[in-house]
A and B are shown apart, each in its own frame.
Chain A
Amino acid sequence: MSIVVSELRHTYNEGTPARSEALRGVSVVIERGQWVSIVGHTGSGKSTLAQHLNLLLLPQSGSVSIDGTDVTRDAKNLRGLRRRVGLVFQYPEQQFFAETVRDEIEFAPLNWGVTGRELDECVEMAVRSSGLDPALLGSNPFAISGGQRRRAALASVLSMRPDYLVLDEPTAGLDAAGIRELRQLMASVRDEGMGVVQVTHDLEGALANSDRILVLERGVGVTCGDAESVAEYLLRSPVQGLLMPPLARFIAGLRERGIHLPLTAGVGDVINSLEERLGCEV
């Protein structure tokens, strides 16, 4: 069970002087129960790729298949396929329109004809998974705090009960505590068996949390693999707009001095290695 993107190409404003190639033959596989990060500089094609996963954009060339169904061959069933892939846009709270948080969360399941007991279950599950305070269900979504608003926005997508969750720059505008909580939520939905796709330019966060990472540069997938292999690649071949995290750069410096550690090692591992090497407490 996976989303398979193969040789995907997309060009905006074809036939005008403003023509721009957003994707130039990108391929990636997203398994359920995996956290995949798509990283790249601004304009690298990340959001375009994310919109293909939710079928808001259809392949101009190449293919996207969801759990074995090629979307270009099943174009009549786009809404059905779209339900399987929830997409959380950047600043998702800006899409709010309903009078209460509950109405906002019910919007998606109602659009797919879910009513009665099943609807209540969808809302309950979404509130639980998103960590939203249930006491806020009757509140005006414009009147709750920023962190709770982001959770409400996440719940409004999780209520569709998707098999995959795509988040476009989910940490934008959140403080450090909010980012940590959101990552915990993403990890928990991944652990429940959902495929999580995070679109981000935050390489540090992607290296620390993802099972697999796809790096895009000017619409081309330059590397795809686990965090360590991607970090090794980026150390050898820097990609425009992506800066290696300070700790990874420090580890790279240690390597030059004979201390070999994985680039994705944590602070604790680095301290232990240094203490071993120096024979004293750091």
Chain B
Amino acid sequence: MRSLNNISLGQFIPGDSLIHRLDPRCKIVCTFMLLAGLFMASEPLDFVLWCALPCLFSRLSGTSMTTILKTGRPVVFLVAVTVFINLLWTPGHEILRIGPLRVTWEGITVAVGMGLRLFFLVIFAAMLMMTTSPMDFSAGLERLMSPIGRLGLPTSEMAMMMTIALRFIPTLFEETDRILKAQISRGADFDSGGLIRRARSFVPVLVPLFVLVFLRAENLATAMESRCYSPGAPRTRLHPLRWAARDSVAVICLFSFIAAVVALDRLVLGGVRPFR
């Protein structure tokens, strides 16, 4: 049965774990470090070591591994296409030929590397969003972007737009789930037929969803205006962000881990580089 009740990519899971309590700036910086480190990985062993991070995250955040891995589900198709293209179109030592298709040793290694990179990319971004509320995330981002604001860029407006967009992700999921269920209860079938039939079957979901989204957007704009929201005006915060010692420790530990993996990659395993 089609339902959106399960935790999805980008959804915040409230909690009081160590990871939840970290400053959002710390979590954003850590995520960017992870993404940068991921693209420096070039050895199969690197990716084995990277696997330790979701496991550690699961333990420290109280989120099950199944939930973490599920967040990678939306990109499985993209990963599969990437793997397929790299597998068949990378030149090198041929190990298998099926008609015009050639599979090379280099193709296998590049395809697996790219697939894992993409998968980890999504998982790491999801780990940030699962443990950071939209409000905290945008507050952290606004503070991190404040140096750019001095150059005249509208950072607070950008942060507000991001807050609203993120705030509405779970609401939109809930609304979609409700409309989906309402149409299923009236006999709508979203799971059978060809691609075009399936796409057409979503019209009864998309039309009411668009109507609701526009209504909500209008209500939100009115509510913000009635509470004197003014773009660019200086605003204070009810809960100001505070960088604690544990945030510094988290950044240092993660930086050390990434540095160690990169050093291992460059200095010890540097000769092979099959995942480049």
Contacts and interface: CB of A to CB of B under 8 A. Distances in A.
B53 interface: no
Interface stretch (B13-21, B102-110, B242-250): B13-21
Interface residues of B, number: 34
Contact of A54 (B13, B185, B207): B185
User: 9 closest pairs, A vs B, by CB?
Assistant: A111-B187, A17-B15, A97-B207, A15-B64, A108-B186, A95-B182, A87-B185, A97-B204, A89-B182
A17 B13 CA distance: 7
A17 B208 contact: no
Contacts of A95: 179, 182-183, 186, 204, 208
Given A17-B13, A17-B15, A89-B178, A58 B63 contact: no
Given A58-B1, A96-B207, 14 more contacts: A17-B17, A56-B1, A57-B1, A87-B182, A89-B181, A94-B211, A95-B186, A95-B204, A97-B205, A109-B187, A112-B187, A156-B186, A157-B186, A160-B186
A94 B66 contact: no
A33 interface: no
Nearest to B2: A56
Contacts of A54: 185
A83 interface: yes
B5 interface: yes
Contact of B188 (A12, A57, A87, A111): A111
A12 B11 CA distance: 15
B66 A15 contact: yes
Given A17-B17, A97-B204, A111 B63 contact: no
Interface of B: 1, 3, 5-7, 13-15, 17, 61-64, 66-67, 178-179, 181-189, 203-208, 211-212
Interface of A: 12-13, 15-18, 51, 54, 56-58, 78-79, 82-83, 86-87, 89, 92, 94-98, 107-109, 111-112, 142, 156-157, 160
Nearest to B15: A17
Most chain-B Cβ atoms within 10 A of its Cβ — which of A16, A57, A87, A109? A16
Contacts of A156: 186
